Amino acid sequence: NAGVTQTPKFQVLKTGQSMTLQCAQDMNHEYMSWYRQDPGMGLRLIHYSVGAGITDQGEVPNGYNVSRSTTEDFPLRLLSAAPSQTSVYFCASTGQEGRSPLHFGNGTRLTVT
Amino acid sequence: SQKIEQNSEALNIQEGKTATLTCNYTNYSPAYLQWYRQDPGRGPVFLLLIRENEKEKRKERLKVTFDTTLKQSLFHITASQPADSATYLCALLRGTYKYIFGTGTRLKVLA
C-alpha cells in the first residue's frame, strides 16, 4: 500500500519558471491538501480539496493553482516561481475530516533561485 | 485568527525520563486535536487524536491530555528512548476541513 506519493523529491527552478508538483493517493480519500513547511513557520495550508472537482483556498494560496479531476490525484502548480516559494511542500489526505488522521507524503524540496 | 503555540526551543531529556510537550491554542474551540511525529526529511506521521469531550488518551508509552478550559493539550512520552527523538506537531481542525498546525517542538532523548 503506497499511501501518499509525491514527485519529484527535489527540484530547483529559476525565478519565473513554472512547474507542477505531483501528489497521488491510493486510499480512496476524498480530502486532499497541500502544505508548505518553512523554518519557524510550521505547516501552512495552501489549498485543499474535498472531492473531485472541488477545491478551496487555505492560508497561503497566492502563487499556486490546484485542480482535482480524479479522486487519486491533486497536483499543485506554480505558474511563475519566486524565491519566496522556496520551501518543502507536503501533500496530505484523509477520509473523514477531523476524526481521521492526515496521511502525508514525504515532501518535495523546492529551491527557487 | 486561530493560533497554535508550541515550544519552539528544543527539549532535551535523559533516556528513561518522561517528556512533556505543550500545545496551546487561541480563538477557537476545536472538536478534535491531533498529534504527529516528524522525522528529518519525512512527512508527519499521525500518533494520537483526542476529542473535546475526552480528558485523556493513551497509546502504549504515549499520553495526551486536552483541557478545553485552558485551551491546552499536553503530550507525554513515558520511559523515553533515543528513538523517540523527533519533532512533534499538534494540529486542530478549524471549521470542517482546515487543519491548522503548530510549529512543532523538537525532542532529543539523550542516551
**Residue B40: C-alpha distances to residues A18, A34, A44, B86, B102 (Å):** 27, 19, 18, 8, 17
So what's the pLDDT on residue B72? 93
So what's the pLDDT on residue B58? 96
**Mean pLDDT for the stretch of residues B46-57:** 92
Which tens digits make up the pLDDT trace of B71-91?
999 999 999 999 999 999 999
Question: Nearest C-alpha of chain B: how many angstroms from A103?
Answer: 7
In chain A (113 residues long), the average pLDDT of successive 10-residue segments reads 92 97 95 93 92 93 96 96 97 81 96 97
**Mean pLDDT for the stretch of residues B47-67:** 94
User: Which of A43, A46, A59 to probe by mutation at the B interface, max B CB count within 10 Å?
Assistant: A43
Which tens digits make up the pLDDT trace of B8-21?
789 999 999 999 99
Cβ <8 Å between A104 and B44: yes
Cβ <8 Å between B102 and A42: yes
Q: Is the pLDDT at B23 greater than 70, yes or no?
A: yes
Residue A44 amino acid letter: R
Q: Is the pLDDT at B7 greater than 90, yes or no?
A: no
* Reported confidence tier of residue B30, pLDDT bands at 50, 70, 90: confident
Chain A contact for B40 (CB, 8 A cutoff): no
Q: Which residues contact B50 (CB under 8 A, 6 or more apart)?
A: B32, B33, B34, B56, B57, B64, B65, B66, B73
Chain A contact for B98 (CB, 8 A cutoff): yes
